[in-house]
Chains A and B, each alone.
Chain A
């Protein structure tokens, strides 16, 4: 099948610019993430320290309850918060956005109440998907991290020394590509659940199958917009150095920037993938 990625992007872009309602679920995700970020940002101060203090002290150590240690820890805490938000609400809200997009593209009316109700009936499916998605990323991250560490150690021992900076950049890039690869094979699950009303595991298999059959196309659709995340990923990788060169609160701003960027990037990726799914179905 010949497929124009350019026309996919232009029609997705057009849909998004004409129907700002598509952003609504992603704005709500961003709101929840901002809320989590605020709570973590204030977790070392009264009164939240009463709640977070003992947990942070036990898991990460006393130094992360004091300025500026708490701001070094902030992105990590936020990452854990993001995982919880994604499982409990992120996947569900993404499904709502996909349904809105499908209705717009297929000429059906967009009745938010009905869409939310419909997605709500399959809430557990989305929670299940969120769990599988996060577990897979976690396992791959650990596995790849371990393999990368062994590989770089081998190179350092036998060929040339790898500096910690190069190692950090390599590890960050690897994590990014893990994320992209998982997206290629799993990101179509939600659009399949919505458009084909399939059960979770069948939808996952469908997504993997499309990912394999149209690897390059899906790869492009996922990778190019996600490349916009790279500067943020590098900023997070070298956060301690950035804090040292600037000021500790920059950690909050970098994380906040990531949340704002996600509204547009995640929305665009998901809608272009849904558009791709609709186009492939039409071609059949």
Chain B
């Protein structure tokens, strides 16, 4: 009995050891380091002012280890971004700038990473209240990488920055520029994902301008041009916001709800729309 247990345990240990050796290094090990560092980083981010210096140092050390030990792992890309964000969040701006440079150098053919690096440079200046330098970086991002997730958002981002600072004149000007930019992007990438993103950002820009009429038109256009379940789910709340809450045009909202009803099959959403339409029709009577 004891012999049997020992033999079986030894077989299991040998297999475990063998598979551990064969599976050591590579993607999995890199993911493990990244996960450990991120777990600590999230804890720090929840309350950065009271984070012990040792914990801060350990996140930095682990992320640097990841970049050094596994430079070609897929997760390392996110390790670079995490280290950059870590420096920005902890106000280590010089180190953050170096990390952004590193990203640009290492991923010189990856537009997504280059745009992240460019945005971070702008953000570093913005955090230091050096808006003009930040704006310069954001403009480069908008011009060089307009088709990236960050690049396409820049015009609206700039407008919102001015808005948050109470600079109404600059904000309106930035929003108008954004409207032109999104119209151009939408026509250039019409019918594609990027065209849809530009269209949604255009609605948001009109909403920021409080131009609800134009926002409504843009919304109707987007619903008609990009009819899919995902787009309806994203845009339906805007129907209420624009046509009911701001324009007081419940008939138009009912028309759009009925249009969406005719395009989808999901029973729960159909039921939800039916209730909405019923409520609006009763209210109208």
Residues on B with C-beta less than 8 A from A21 are: 1
Q: Provided the pairs A24-B4, A27-B5, A46-B22 are in contact, do residues A67 and B16 lie with their beta carbons within 8 angstroms?
A: no
A45 contacts B1, C-beta separation under 8 Å: no
- The listed residue (A27, A38, A46, A47) touching B15 by CB distance below 8 A is A38
A35 contacts B12, C-beta separation under 8 Å: yes
A31 contacts B22, C-beta separation under 8 Å: no
Binds A, one of B27-35, B48-56, B147-155: B27-35
> Size band of the B side of the interface?
10 to 19
A42 contacts B19, C-beta separation under 8 Å: yes
B23 at the interface (CB under 8 A from A): yes
B32 contacts A35, C-beta separation under 8 Å: no
A27 contacts B32, C-beta separation under 8 Å: no
How many angstroms between the C-alpha atoms of A20 and B5 in the bound complex?
12
B249 at the interface (CB under 8 A from A): no
- The listed residue (B15, B26, B35) touching A45 by CB distance below 8 A is B26
Inter-chain CB contacts under 8 Å: number: 46
Scoring A20, A48, A66, A67 by chain B CB atoms within 10 A of each residue's CB, the highest score goes to A67
Tally of contact residues, A, Cβ under 8 A = 20
Q: Provided the pairs A45-B23, A48-B19 are in contact, do residues A27 and B8 lie with their beta carbons within 8 angstroms?
A: yes
A67 contacts B35, C-beta separation under 8 Å: yes
A204 at the interface (CB under 8 A from B): no
- The listed residue (B4, B5, B20, B35) touching A68 by CB distance below 8 A is B35
A22-48 contacts to B (CB < 8 Å)? 23-24, 27-28, 31, 34-35, 38, 42, 44-48
Residues on A with C-beta less than 8 A from B26 are: 45-46
Q: Provided the pairs A23-B1, A67-B31, A248-B35 are in contact, do residues A45 and B19 lie with their beta carbons within 8 angstroms?
A: yes
How many angstroms between the C-alpha atoms of A23 and B8 in the bound complex?
14
A20 contacts B1, C-beta separation under 8 Å: yes
How many angstroms between the C-alpha atoms of A48 and B21 in the bound complex?
12
B18-77 contacts to A (CB < 8 Å)? 19-20, 22-23, 26-28, 31-32, 35, 75
A27 contacts B4, C-beta separation under 8 Å: yes
Q: Provided the pairs A38-B19, A44-B28 are in contact, do residues A24 and B1 lie with their beta carbons within 8 angstroms?
A: yes
Distance (Å) between the CB of B167 and the closest chain A CB? 42
How many angstroms between the C-alpha atoms of A214 and B60 in the bound complex?
65
Encode contact with B along A66-80: 1 for CB under 8 Å, 0 otherwise.
111000000000000
Residues on A with C-beta less than 8 A from B19 are: 38, 42, 45, 48
Q: Provided the pairs A21-B1, A35-B12, A35-B15 are in contact, do residues A46 and B23 lie with their beta carbons within 8 angstroms?
A: yes
Return the chain A residue nearest B30 by Cβ: A67
Return the chain A residue nearest B75 by Cβ: A66
How many angstroms between the C-alpha atoms of A24 and B109 in the bound complex?
61
How many angstroms between the C-alpha atoms of A24 and B1 in the bound complex?
7
Residues on B with C-beta less than 8 A from A68 are: 35
Distance (Å) between the CB of B8 and the closest chain A CB? 4
A34 contacts B12, C-beta separation under 8 Å: yes
Distance (Å) between the CB of B259 and the closest chain A CB? 30
B1 contacts A67, C-beta separation under 8 Å: no
Residues on B with C-beta less than 8 A from A23 are: 1
How many angstroms between the C-alpha atoms of A196 and B80 in the bound complex?
69
How many angstroms between the C-alpha atoms of A46 and B32 in the bound complex?
15
Q: Provided the pairs A27-B5, A31-B12 are in contact, do residues A42 and B23 lie with their beta carbons within 8 angstroms?
A: yes
16 A-B pairs whose Cβ atoms sit less than 8 Å apart in the complex: A21-B1, A23-B1, A38-B16, A38-B19, A42-B20, A42-B23, A45-B23, A45-B28, A46-B23, A47-B22, A48-B19, A48-B23, A66-B31, A67-B28, A67-B31, A67-B32
Task: Please report B residues at the A interface, Cβ cutoff 8 Å.
Answer: 1, 4-5, 8, 11-12, 15-16, 19-20, 22-23, 26-28, 31-32, 35, 75
